[in-house]
């Protein structure tokens, strides 16, 4: 039987909820999940009866990031780019894959013409941020923690490099340099998260927010979203994403040359050791 990677629900009038359904894998993303998610988001965007889209996840964790145990191969025809070198040697093929499946899909999701809300619990690690950050709003349970420990693998950070825009420059650097996590409360104070709620209230609070938004005129919602996105773009958002992605690709090329793979394998032990030593959560003081 084929693996189920997502589930689609209609929890309320004018609201669609797309649920990541690899709980046994802590919702680690394989290419199939990414493209099934993209199809579900596209279908909801095209449905005139849907005004708001919620992205949620089964299990204790929203997403543990990229599933490094699976090959980086497209499961379908590309939808986000016109890249044609997916089978190219060395870094060429992997660069094409990441332009399409990571950077390209994140851009598509950010520009969906309807409001989107991420409903987040537990751990959101590295690639998990790339599912959450393109959404318009984020509601997090108070047990949520966020991290991008990719420097340990020999790269500057995840492919959708929105860190400085989401957290501010100094907090973004600390997150990246140390590999530690920030709590939902810290993320809320930084402006990355809209609301923090008790775990038992996460689904209901998110749905109530979606229902409230869904009552607004759909065209006005679309135009408001476009206006805010273009304001961010005028501040250099897209240029920053492109520049960081180029450096990320350079890091992969360096790792291929030195280690024979796109990441430094020593990073696995570093991340695990930090977790055992209790360094996975930030020790920033509460205000």
Q: What domains are there in the chain, each with its CATH number?
A: 6-201+215-276 (3.90.226.10)
Residue 280 pLDDT: 53
Residue 66 pLDDT: 93
pTM, two decimal places: 0.94
Find out whether 10 and 17 touch, Cβ atoms under 8 Å.
yes
Residue 104 pLDDT: 98
Find out whether 138 and 166 touch, Cβ atoms under 8 Å.
no
| 262-276 residue pLDDT tens | 999 999 888 777 766
Centre a 10 Å sphere on the Cβ of residue 99 and count the other Cβ atoms it contains: 20
Q: Which helix (H) or strand (E) holds 10?
A: strand 6-12
Rounded to the nearest integer, the mean pLDDT of the chain is 94
| 69-114 residue pLDDT tens | 889 999 999 999 998 899 999 899 999 999 999 999 999 999 999 9
Averaged pLDDT for residues 167-182: 96
Helix (H, G, I), strand (E, B) or coil at 73: coil
| 213-222 residue pLDDT tens | 999 999 999 9
Continuous H helices in 65-148: 91-98, 105-110, 127-132
Integer Cα distance of 199 and 160 in angstroms: 27
Integer Cα distance of 206 and 188 in angstroms: 15
Averaged pLDDT for residues 30-42: 97
């Amino acid at each position: 039987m084929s693996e189920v990677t997502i589930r689609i629900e209609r929890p309320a009038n004018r609201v669609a909820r797309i649920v990541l359904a690899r709980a046994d894998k802590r919702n680690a993303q394989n290419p199939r999940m990414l493209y099934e998610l993209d199809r579900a988001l596209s279908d909801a965007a095209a449905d005139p009866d849907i005004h708001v889209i919620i992205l949620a996840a089964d299990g204790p964790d929203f997403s543990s990031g990229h599933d490094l145990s699976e090959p980086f191969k497209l499961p379908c025809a590309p939808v986000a780019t016109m890249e044609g070198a997916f089978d190219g040697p060395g870094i060429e093929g992997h660069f094409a894959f990441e332009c399409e499946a990571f950077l390209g899909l994140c851009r598509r999701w950010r520009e969906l013409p309807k409001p989107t809300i991420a409903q987040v619990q537990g751990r959101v690690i590295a690639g998990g941020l790339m599912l959450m950050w393109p959404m318009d709003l984020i509601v997090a349970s108070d047990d949520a923690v966020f991290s991008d420990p990719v420097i340990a693998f020999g790269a500057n950070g995840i492919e959708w490099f929105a860190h400085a825009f989401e957290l501010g420059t100094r907090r973004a650097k600390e997150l990246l340099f140390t590999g530690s996590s920030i709590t939902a409360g810290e993320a809320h104070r930084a402006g990355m998260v809209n609301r923090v709620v008790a775990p038992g209230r996460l689904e209901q609070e998110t749905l109530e927010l979606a229902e409230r938004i869904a009552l607004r005129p759909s065209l006005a919602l679309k135009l408001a979203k476009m206006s805010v996105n273009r304001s961010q773009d005028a501040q250099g958002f897209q240029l920053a994403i492109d520049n960081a992605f180029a450096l990320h690709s350079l890091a992969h090329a360096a790792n291929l040359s030195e280690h024979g793979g796109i990441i430094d394998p020593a990073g696995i032990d570093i991340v695990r050791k930090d977790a055992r030593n209790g360094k996975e959560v930030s020790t920033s003081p509460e205000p």
